Amino acid sequence: MKTYYRQRLPHIQPIGASFFVTFRLYGSIPYAHLGKLKEEYQKKIMEAKCLKDLKAKNSLLFDIRKRYLFQIDQLLHKIVNGPIVLSQKEILDKTKEVLHRFDGEFYDLICYSIMSNHVHILIDTSIQIKEDQYFDEITDKFTTLDQIMKRVKAPIARFANTILNTSGQFWERESYDIYIRNEIMKSNVISYILENPVKAKLVESWEDYSGNYLKMD
């Protein structure tokens, strides 16, 4: 079982962790905008890897990756000419239905915000782990974040292409994910996700946005 893999970005996915994930529509950020941001990101990563102190290096790398995710989000709010079909009611409702479909099976769905061109979710995958399981049993049956995202994105893409009478790629293949290190970070991420439409000036209060969800204890 892979808990780390790399595509364009590194993905660190510990078994049973909680994750803040952002996935976006194909073509939602022009490559000209994304290229400059990636160049700056790679430069900072290379500089951080030169640090000799392992703890300081890992902490800095984590912060750089987290900041990159937030910069991507800022770009998504600024782009006005890209696809925005997630705001269509049928596609919005389908996205909600799929996210809730796997709640309680592969993850605990803590919150989400479905924007017009991207989706933020916070999920806890520890729900898959039973107290009396041995490690080999966990790894044999555990559905990783990468596998979860494929199960989530595929049915939404098929549905949307049917509704829109289109074909081909619907989502960007790679999602942005970061694992939650502690309760303070979890609380901050929840606020960040739910306040997304408020920052975009779509509503005055996050509770008023139809694409928002927060699981109440």
Structure tokens at 79: 């782009």
Site of tokens 């490690």: 135
pLDDT computed for residue 10 by the predictor: 58
pLDDT computed for residue 5 by the predictor: 42
Site of tokens 């709010």: 77
* 103 has pLDDT over 90: yes
The whole-angstrom distance between residue 74's C-alpha and the CA centroid of its chain comes to: 14
Q: What is the mean pLDDT of the chain?
A: 89
pLDDT level of residue 21 (50, 70, 90 thresholds): very high
Rounded CA separation 103/124 (Å): 10
Report the predicted TM-score, pTM, of the whole model to 2 decimal places: 0.85
Once rounded to an integer, what is the mean pLDDT over residues 160-170? 95
Once rounded to an integer, what is the mean pLDDT over residues 64-87? 86
Strands 108-114 and 212-214: antiparallel
